[in-house]
């Protein structure tokens, strides 16, 4: 039998995915007694990760339920191999990205605020930072002119499973793609070409993991390399973008932004990013889905089956990403 440690709040319906050869051990973060497990399905919350990691031993495999593992890295026992949940978030994150892009291009945040004010505004009332694409007769022209996605160039920074899912969904709208990865491969440019590609993109999509190399990846210098009015979409981690530089670029009308992650996070009340122009903020919900737990536990159960059968496991995390 393989001893599989799982979050104590996992429902029986989720645990039913695991093979009968697995001895399921519920790990309550409130308990203090030590317990031996071979395969640890780590909890979702960092505070629970810390509590549980302090009482388990004998761990050979750690399976994350998230694709991102930066929060889990400090709690991986020595000698254990870490595997992420790449693929679990592809659909919801890709759908969030597409939604965010369309919301920004059609200026929905502006029109939602107009609706909240309950006033049908004319073009002159538009905020200068929105930079309408044309000036028509004020009574007929919209306050700010929506853009078309067709013909846009999308730069995917951190091209992987989610990037491919986004590409599949955006391709029918007539866009073209630039792809950036850690290293060069067919159709994907190496990381060192970021500065060359930024000026070519209308939309810059961030999907990189948070590492020492990617922290502050998008700073003031790189924001200045983007096309004026280009859209920055951060579906990665907050610290990948320098927040102060982003706020300044937004106020100057250099870029627009859609972000699901921030630095700091949660974003404090009254933070300047909240009131910056041309930014749409969601509270780290891009990967949320009513089907998330089912997908995550199916993946974990399949990993346990591979482990029992002596097969290679999927999604090995090396060097922190």
Structure tokens at 134: 């044309």
Q: Name the active-site residue from 182, 237, 254, 256.
A: 237
Q: How far apart are CA 215 and CA 284, in angstroms?
A: 18
Instruction: Give 276's contacts (C-beta < 8 A, 6+ positions apart).
Output: 246, 247, 250, 251
Q: Name the active-site residue from 167, 265, 271, 305.
A: 265
Q: How far apart are CA 95 and CA 133, in angstroms?
A: 27
Q: How far apart are CA 41 and CA 24, in angstroms?
A: 10
Instruction: Say which residue the tokens 């970021």 belong to.
Output: 194
Known active-site residue 185: no
Pairing of strands 203-206, 153-157: parallel
| Whole-number Cα distances in Å, 294 to 64, 114, 297, 307 | 14, 39, 5, 20
Q: Name the active-site residue from 284, 298, 305, 306.
A: 284
Known active-site residue 311: no
Known active-site residue 237: yes
Q: How far apart are CA 93 and CA 67, in angstroms?
A: 11
Q: How far apart are CA 132 and CA 74, in angstroms?
A: 48
User: Would you please indicate which residues are annotated as catalytic (active-site) residues?
Assistant: 237, 265, 284
């Amino acid at each position: 039998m393989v001893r599989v440690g799982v979050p104590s709040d996992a429902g029986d319906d989720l645990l039913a995915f695991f093979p009968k050869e697995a001895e399921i051990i519920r790990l309550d973060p409130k308990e203090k007694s030590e317990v031996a497990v071979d395969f640890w399905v780590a909890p979702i919350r960092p505070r629970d990760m810390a509590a549980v990691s302090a009482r388990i031993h004998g761990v050979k495999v750690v399976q994350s339920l998230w694709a991102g593992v930066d929060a889990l890295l400090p709690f991986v026992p020595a000698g254990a191999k870490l595997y992420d949940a790449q693929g679990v978030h592809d659909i919801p994150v890709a759908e969030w990205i597409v939604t965010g892009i369309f919301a920004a291009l059609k200026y929905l945040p502006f029109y939602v605020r107009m609706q909240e004010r309950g006033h049908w505004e004319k073009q002159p009332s538009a905020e200068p930072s929105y930079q309408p694409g044309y000036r028509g007769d004020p009574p007929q022209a919209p306050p700010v002119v929506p853009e078309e996605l067709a013909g846009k160039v999308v730069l995917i920074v951190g091209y992987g499973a989610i990037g491919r899912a986004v590409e599949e969904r955006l391709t029918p709208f007539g866009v073209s793609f630039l792809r950036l990865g850690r290293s060069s491969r067919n159709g994907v440019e190496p990381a060192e070409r970021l500065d060359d590609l930024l000026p070519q993109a209308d939309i810059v999509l961030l999907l990189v993991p948070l590492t020492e190399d990617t922290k502050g990846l998008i700073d003031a210098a790189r924001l200045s390399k983007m096309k004026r009015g280009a859209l920055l979409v951060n579906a990665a981690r907050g610290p990948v973008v320098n927040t102060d530089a982003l706020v300044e670029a937004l106020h100057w009308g250099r870029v627009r932004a859609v972000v699901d992650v921030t630095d700091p996070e949660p974003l404090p009340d009254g933070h300047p990013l909240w009131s910056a122009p041309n930014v749409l903020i969601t509270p780290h919900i891009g990967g949320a889905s009513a089907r998330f737990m089912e997908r995550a536990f199916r993946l974990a159960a399949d990993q346990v089956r591979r482990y029992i059968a002596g097969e290679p496991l999927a999604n090995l995390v090396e060097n922190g990403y």
